[in-house]
Amino acid sequence: MASITKQPNGRRMIQFIGPDKKRRSIRLGKVPQRTAESMKLRVEALVASSITGHAIDDETSRWVRGLDDGLSERLAAVGLIQPKASSSIGDFVDSYIASRTDLKPATITVLGPTRRNMIDFFGHDRPLRDITEGDADEFRLHLVREGLSDNTARRRCGFAKQFLRAAQRRGLVDRNPFADLSAAVRSNTARLRFVSAEDAEKVIDACPDTEWRLIFALCRFGGLRCPSEVMAMRWTDVNWGASRITVRSSKTEHHEDGESRLVPIFPELLPHLRQQFEEAEPGVEWVITRNRGANRRKRLVRIIRRAGLEPWPKLFQNLRSTRETELAESYPMHVVCAWIGNSQVIAAKHYLQVTEDHFAQAAQGGALHNAMQHPAAQGCTEHQNTSRDEGKPAFRGSVQRSATSCKDRESREKVPL
């Protein structure tokens, strides 16, 4: 709540506690009590908006736009509104990005292309309040004409929506013209690639050193994100005795219990991890030391071509996607997602793939099913029950249970990937 204070010289001021828990003051000068009361209500609405993150009401928004420069500057000085100079596209977006000190550097970098697109399309000095829903529609079409994929255009429209939502909360616009644009990223199976174990070994053989072999193995066989999770690994995160790695994830740390997860040291990963450990300098902290600042994507493209393969889309994400698809064949999905670090919904939408092996297994399964229907067929016949009465067929349910038992045994005999 705000309060009105009258000074000995007759001047009034409004005091309030800001979102940072500090007391702020706004000087009003010699104004009637009724004017001060009206101003107090506006200030309380702005403070509530700052604390809750909700947009201010239309009446307060119109009041803010009609303020004279003096009062506008005083409200901006205490953080209740944006300075008027920041009401253009370029100035506001720059000030908004600069104010997001809570974001990680990588996230700030991701916002950059959307800022550039908006300034190129609307112009740096275009007033925020002049942008309409029609302009927002044209902006999305502009991104598509520039050659961006549908998902990239959606993602950047989502960032533009985020920028204008912040402007709305600060009273600079009445409504968000991007609010109705769909920003949800859709699944794009055309860009999924299954990197087989054979191809993975070819790439590993083509790697220039132990560290690069480990980087690739951590992504392909450990399912780690690169660079964020791979570069965050410390030797203290490796539990050799329990055959587990503590993976620290900056991407999911804002979720409950998402700051880290445990990943098994899979058999395919172990030799590369152990070799890197044996070559590490005594007392070194980081697992990856020499390739921390390099352009890993370009280098991996060269390595893949050196292996005689064609680089696939989404180089590192498809390694994670491949691993999750493999693990889903052998373990419950809640376990797989706990190891990979995503949800079952995200896994089904963006990670799990239908592979050639699935079709081959389905065809083989069909052949086995047909074989079970014919006495001359081979395989799993030792468990089929026969009737005590010679010449009578065995009870059908017994055959079905025997077939199921056989399939269960075959499943148990498979070596987990």
Q: What's the total number of domains in the chain? A: 3
Q: What tokens appear for 230 in the block?
A: 């791979």
Model pLDDT, residue 372: 52
220 shares a domain with 120: no
Give pTM, 2 decimals.
0.57
Q: What is the pLDDT of residues 194-205, one digit of tens each?
A: 999 999 999 999
Structural domain ending residue among the three candidates 35, 56, 78 = 78
Model pLDDT, residue 400: 40
CATH at 291: 1.10.443.10
Residues 6+ apart with CB under 8 A from 372: 380, 399, 403
Would 395 be classed as within a structural domain? Answer: no
Model pLDDT, residue 294: 67
Would 113 be classed as within a structural domain? Answer: yes
Model pLDDT, residue 368: 53
328 shares a domain with 203: yes
103 shares a domain with 72: no
CA 170 to chain centre: 27
CA distance 184 to 387: 60
CA distance 235 to 217: 16
pLDDT confidence of 312, banded at 50, 70, 90? very high
Residue with tokens 């044996």: 278
348 shares a domain with 244: yes
CA distance 222 to 240: 15
Strand partners, 244: 239, 264
229 shares a domain with 113: no
- Least confidently predicted of 129-133, 287-291, 388-392: 388-392
pLDDT confidence of 365, banded at 50, 70, 90? confident
- Least confidently predicted of 132-146, 174-188, 200-214: 174-188
Would 36 be classed as within a structural domain? Answer: yes
pLDDT confidence of 409, banded at 50, 70, 90? very low
Would 203 be classed as within a structural domain? Answer: yes
Residue 369 has pLDDT above 90, yes or no: no
336 shares a domain with 232: yes
Model pLDDT, residue 295: 84
Q: HSE, CB side, 13 Å, CA atoms: give it for residue 336.
A: 24
Q: Average pLDDT, stretch 65-85?
A: 78
- Least confidently predicted of 61-65, 174-178, 288-292: 61-65
Q: Average pLDDT, stretch 312-339?
A: 96
The H or E element containing residue 45 is helix 33-52
Structural domain ending residue among the three candidates 355, 371, 388 = 355
Q: What tokens appear for 226 in the block?
A: 């690169």
199 shares a domain with 67: no
CA distance 99 to 218: 35
Residues 6+ apart with CB under 8 A from 148: 156
CA distance 72 to 69: 5
Share of the chain above pLDDT 90, in %: 49
Q: What is the pLDDT of residues 254-273, one digit of tens each?
A: 656 658 999 999 999 999 99
Residue 352 has pLDDT above 90, yes or no: yes
Q: Which amino acid is at 92?
A: F
Q: Domain of residue 27: give its range.
A: 2-78
Residue with tokens 């005091």: 15
253 shares a domain with 205: yes
Would 321 be classed as within a structural domain? Answer: yes
Would 401 be classed as within a structural domain? Answer: no
322 shares a domain with 220: yes
Burial readout 163-186 (b: 16 or more C-beta within 10 A, e: otherwise): bbbbbbbbbbbeebbbeebebeee
245 shares a domain with 143: no
Q: Average pLDDT, stretch 389-401?
A: 39
Q: Average pLDDT, stretch 213-234?
A: 96
Would 83 be classed as within a structural domain? Answer: no
Would 380 be classed as within a structural domain? Answer: no
Q: HSE, CB side, 13 Å, CA atoms: give it for residue 113.
A: 13
129 shares a domain with 65: no
Higher pLDDT, 389 or 20: 20
Other beta carbons within 10 angstroms of residue 155's beta carbon come to 19
Burial category of 36 from C-beta neighbours within 10 Å (exposed 0-12, middle 13-18, buried 19 and up): middle
285 shares a domain with 150: no
Decide if 371 contacts 378 (C-beta within 8 A). yes
Strand arrangement, sheet containing 238-239: 238-239, 244-248, 260-264
CATH at 133: 1.10.150.130
Model pLDDT, residue 151: 87
Q: Average pLDDT, stretch 161-184?
A: 88
Higher pLDDT, 85 or 33: 33
Q: What is the pLDDT of residues 115-156, one digit of tens each?
A: 999 999 999 999 998 999 999 999 999 999 999 988 899 999
